[in-house]
Amino acid sequence: MRGLVVKNTGSWYLVKTDEGPTVPCKIKGNFRLKGIRSTNPVAVGDWVHIVLNQEGTAMISEIEDRKNYIIRKASNLSKQSHIIASNLDQAFLLVTVSHPETNTIFIDRFLATAEAYRVPVSLLFNKIDLYDEDEKRLLDGLINLYQTIGYTCYPMSVKTGEGVDAVKSQLQGKVTLLSGNSGVGKSSLINLLLPELDLKAKTAEISSAHLKGMHTTTFSEMYPLPDGGYIVDTPGIKGFGTFDMEVEEISHYFPEIFHTSVGCKYGNCTHRNEPGCAVRDAVEQHYISQSRYASYLSMLDDKDEKKYREAF
């Protein structure tokens, strides 16, 4: 039987089958022997094949090939990565200029990670109803920066509804990862898009059936949208970095740096201290944003300092 993994609680996976019912599943141990450098060989968004048992649960027997996925550094240091979700059509990163401020390094790390795994990203700038004149100027500057690079930006307010319709129109029929730091309004946006969703009741129902004692708040979950498609809700994400990238690759995931680097004197230029570096020239002339360049350098520093374990 074939189905879609819609929730991961660590030990159990909830699979929505092609026939309709959602079945709690576990995985066969051999998935952990296939050299997958991940804490979770099965991820939300995976299409899988399951074998039912008499208890009404099932075993996942096969994972279909993924078209893409997005990962973060695993909290378990003995592993390489944690797959947040797979088979995504797009990702929406919810950010705020203030209340609280989203750090541009966080934004850029998310964008670079998504670029690396071929997931298109749009930026949702929330809480525009709260901004004073200085904050609005900063908002305009950030939107101009990211739109110039090629990212679609949506200024919006979940509280007032301003700009939300434009976001809704981009969700229909697509699998969309929704992410953002704590406090930016992610849960409020999901409740606005899916007002009938009672998360507490749903979690309690699942727990009483098969998942007693499981802590379910730190894993991803998919929610079907009324007009087709899914929202993938993610936990607060930390640990985006270079653990699955080579130093030479990192600039590839900053589009404006990658395009400018064709003018560098050396083909293996890391854009730090090398002579004849077109990228540093572009930063000095303000063709490349200083904040983006700082984010790029921070990712290089991660790799040099080996903050993350090397691949094994």
How confident is the model at residue 182, as a pLDDT?
87
Residues 9-30 have a mean pLDDT of: 87
For 271-306, the pLDDT digits (tens) are 999 999 999 999 999 999 999 999 999 999 876 544
Of the pLDDT bands very low, low, confident and very high (cuts 50, 70, 90), residue 33 is very low
CA 285-95-87 angle, to 5 degrees, is: 100
Query: Could you give the percent of the chain with pLDDT greater than 90?
Result: 64
Tell me, what's the pLDDT at 244? Answer: 65
Helix (H) or strand (E) segment spanning residue 280: helix 278-284
Virtual torsion, Cα 174, 183, 155, 235, nearest 10 deg: -20
Residue 120 CA to residue 114 CA, distance in Å, equals 7
Give me the percent of the chain exceeding a pLDDT of 70. Answer: 82
**2-68 placed in CATH 3.40.630.30:** no
For 54-105, the pLDDT digits (tens) are 888 999 999 999 999 888 776 655 446 778 899 999 999 999 999 999 999 9
SS3 for 126? coil
Residue 50 has pLDDT above 90, yes or no: yes
CA distances from 192 to 89, 96, 173 (A): 21, 18, 18
Asked if pLDDT for residue 210 goes beyond 50, the answer is no
CA dist., res. 47 & res. 69, Å (int): 12
pLDDT of amino acid 197? 75
pLDDT of residue 202: 44
Give yes or no for residue 252 having a pLDDT over 60.
Answer: yes
Q: Are 264 and 276 in contact (CB under 8 A)?
A: yes
Residue 20 has pLDDT above 90, yes or no: no
Q: Does 209 have pLDDT greater than 50?
A: no
pLDDT on residue 1: 93
Mean pLDDT of the chain: 85
The β-bridge relationship of strands 81-86 and 58-63 is unpaired
Please report how the helices 290-305 and 133-149 are oriented relative to each other, as an axis angle in degrees rounded to 10: 70
Domain boundaries, the chain: 2-68, 85-233, 247-305
Q: What mean pLDDT is predicted for residues 122-138? A: 97
Looking at residue 39, what is its pLDDT? 72
* The pLDDT of residue 152 is above 90: yes
pLDDT value at residue 10 = 75
Residue 250, pLDDT above cutoff 50: yes
Report whether pLDDT(311) > 60. Answer: no
Do domains 2-68 and 247-305 share one topology? The answer is: no
Task: Quote the strand ranges of 190-250, DSSP E.
Answer: 221-224, 229-233
Q: What's the CATH code, domain 247-305?
A: 1.10.40.50
Domain 85-233 has CATH 3.30.160.20: no
Checking if the pLDDT of 199 tops 60, the result is no
Q: What is the pLDDT of residue 27?
A: 87
pLDDT band of 220, cuts 50, 70, 90? confident
Residue pair 278/285 in contact by the 8 Å Cβ criterion: no
